[in-house]
Amino acid sequence: MHAVVEIAGKQVRLTSKDRVNVPLLKAKPGSKVTFDRVLLLHDKDSVTVGTPVVKGASVEAKVVADRKAEKVIVFKKKRRKGYKVRRGHRQQYTEIEITNILKK
């Protein structure tokens, strides 16, 4: 069974036992979270599209860890002015493991 779920404003395609990186959640590692905004469910022979969400459907997941992405370098320069700025940014995300996709 596949599901498309909205997590923190982003749409993610999930199946059972997937490990996915999502924007940072306030849950602690080892805890369980439930996502209710299921936009689409795909079973072997049926597809259910929500208007805008599928009623009674949810996805359960376990928080594995909080991590940071690779560093992105932001470099600004104005020619002939002696202006250069070099900054780095590491986006934070949460790694989750999907345990169950529920359809009622």
Judge contact between 22 and 8, C-beta under 8 A: yes
Its pTM stands at: 0.83
Residue 66 has pLDDT above 90, yes or no: yes
Altogether, the residues listed in the chain come to a count of 104
**Number of other CB atoms surrounding residue 59 within 10 Å:** 24
Residue 89: the pLDDT is 97
pLDDT at 104: 81
Question: What rounded mean pLDDT belongs to the chain?
Answer: 96
Tokens 């849950």 found at: 27
- Tokens matching residue 27: 């849950």
Mean pLDDT, range 8-34, rounded to an integer:
95
According to DSSP, the β-strands at 32-35 and 58-68 are: antiparallel
Q: What are the structure tokens assigned to 96, written together?
A: 């989750």
